[in-house]
Structure 1
């Protein structure tokens, strides 16, 4: 009789070990592959979102590029005119055009100094122009928008609005008496 060791309790752990090793070496890479696939899907979704945002931003970037002044066209920000008087005259004509286009009735123009004294002497690059006019509510809003959004750069320094003492015709909106001071800028160093 030969004595052969019988498969006993020592054989059971080796089967469990083999099964565990097979699961580890086969199942581990499969689990890692599934995690990698999930990450790849997430990355693809993120790339799609980024691409959509870039497409959405393209018109905005183009608009910013178009509207942003370049060093060559910063001259458009300033009032034209070789002298302070010519620049003030240009500003008066420009405001007159804007207000007339929006159905405002101009009553007075007056050049003011920076201190508001009406001396005409202000900061070297600034021209203050007081304008009084009568307009409807919509015309006032359209005029203010045109003044502050067109070139050259103009700012409304002061604005006073009162209801007109003249009664409007039957069925029309009341008119407004407007008094405002608009600032225009001249390049420093100009005469």
Structure 2
């Protein structure tokens, strides 16, 4: 069924439910295949995370905490809740794991100057040095994985995946609410 182009910005111009395209069986098969491919990619990314984590002597989830801090920290540490949000886990999990990482010398935990109840985490020099030893190997793996993409293609593909993620998050909320 063809639709007349509607403005995405104006909700009043959105297609009525009866006018929305119905996925054909072929499209449903493509959607199913896409979801399996994404699930498989997730499993393989998890394997890579565990490989990198093992190289540092930590768990996969601890590796993810270090990577989140590395990506988010702009020099003054990052709050526990920001890391928890990025990883889609409870703050108490990040707190527990970050204390273990602190004992191993991978991070510092300090109360925020503006509110002592907020703990700000940052990586230690030891961690940055250990991550640097893995960087060349990780770069080689990333080059291999993404060799078929030009930079603009990768950006466009990532944007599409981010939009898909947002819609999946909304779908999860709808299912949870029984809508």
TM-score past 0.5 threshold: no
Higher relative contact order (Cα pairs below 8 Å, separated by 6+ residues): 1
Q: Which has the larger radius of gyration?
A: 1
TM-score by length of 1: 0.27
Give the helix-richer structure, 1 or 2.
2
